[in-house]
Amino acid sequence: MRKKVIVITILFAVWIALYNNLERLTDLLVYSLIQLDKEAPLTSAIHFFIYEVPKVLLLLTLIVFIVGIIRSYFSPERTRKMLGGKKHFAGNVMASTLGIVTPFCSCSAIPLFLGFVESGVPLGVTFSFLIAAPMINEVALVLLFGLFGWKTALLYMSTGLLIAIISGYIIGRLKLERFVEDWVYTIKAGTTEIAEEQLTVSDRINAGIEAVKEIVAKVWIYILIGIAVGAGVHGYVPENFMASLMGKSAWWSVPVSVLIGIPMYSNAAGIIPVVQVLLEKGASLGTVLAFMMSVIGLSLPEIIILKKVLKLPLIFAFVGIVGSGIIIVGYIFNILY
Partner 1 sequence: MIIKVLGSGCMNCKTLEQRTVDALKNLNIDAAIEKVTDYQQIATYGVMRTPGLVVDNKVIVQGRMPTVEQIQELLTSHAA
Nearest to 294 by CA among 334, 335, 253: 253
Q: Which residues contact 125 (CB under 8 A, 6 or more apart)?
A: 83, 86, 88, 91, 92, 94, 95, 116, 168, 172
- Which secondary-structure segment (H or E) carries 337? none
Taking the complex as a whole, how short is the minimal distance between the CB of residue 163 and partner 1, in angstroms? Answer: 24
Question: Do residues 172 and 124 lie in contact, with contact meaning Cβ atoms separated by under 8 Å?
Answer: yes
* Comparison of 110 and 229: residue with beta carbon closer to partner 1: 110
* Comparison of 14 and 187: residue with beta carbon closer to partner 1: 187
Per CB under 8 A, residues contacting partner 1 are 76-77, 80, 103, 105, 107-108, 110-112, 114-116, 118, 183, 187-190, 192-195, 308-309
Question: Do residues 27 and 38 lie in contact, with contact meaning Cβ atoms separated by under 8 Å?
Answer: no
Taking the complex as a whole, how short is the minimal distance between the CB of residue 281 and partner 1, in angstroms? Answer: 36
Q: To 5 degrees, how large is the angle CA 20–CA 26–CA 30?
A: 165
* Comparison of 1 and 195: residue with beta carbon closer to partner 1: 195
Taking the complex as a whole, how short is the minimal distance between the CB of residue 174 and partner 1, in angstroms? Answer: 24
* Comparison of 37 and 77: residue with beta carbon closer to partner 1: 77
Nearest to 132 by CA among 169, 100, 85, 93: 100
Report how far residue 269's alpha carbon sits from residue 218's, in angstroms, rounded to the nearest whole number. 9
The identity of residue 240, as a single letter, is N
Taking the complex as a whole, how short is the minimal distance between the CB of residue 76 and partner 1, in angstroms? Answer: 4
Taking the complex as a whole, how short is the minimal distance between the CB of residue 64 and partner 1, in angstroms? Answer: 16
Taking the complex as a whole, how short is the minimal distance between the CB of residue 29 and partner 1, in angstroms? Answer: 38
Give me the phi and psi of 286, to 5 degrees please.
-60, -45
* Comparison of 35 and 191: residue with beta carbon closer to partner 1: 191
* Comparison of 107 and 154: residue with beta carbon closer to partner 1: 107
Give me the phi and psi of 180, to 5 degrees please.
-90, 140
Report how far residue 196's alpha carbon sits from residue 134's, in angstroms, rounded to the nearest whole number. 25
Taking the complex as a whole, how short is the minimal distance between the CB of residue 47 and partner 1, in angstroms? Answer: 38
Residues in the chain: 337
Report how far residue 217's alpha carbon sits from residue 3's, in angstroms, rounded to the nearest whole number. 25
* Comparison of 194 and 312: residue with beta carbon closer to partner 1: 194
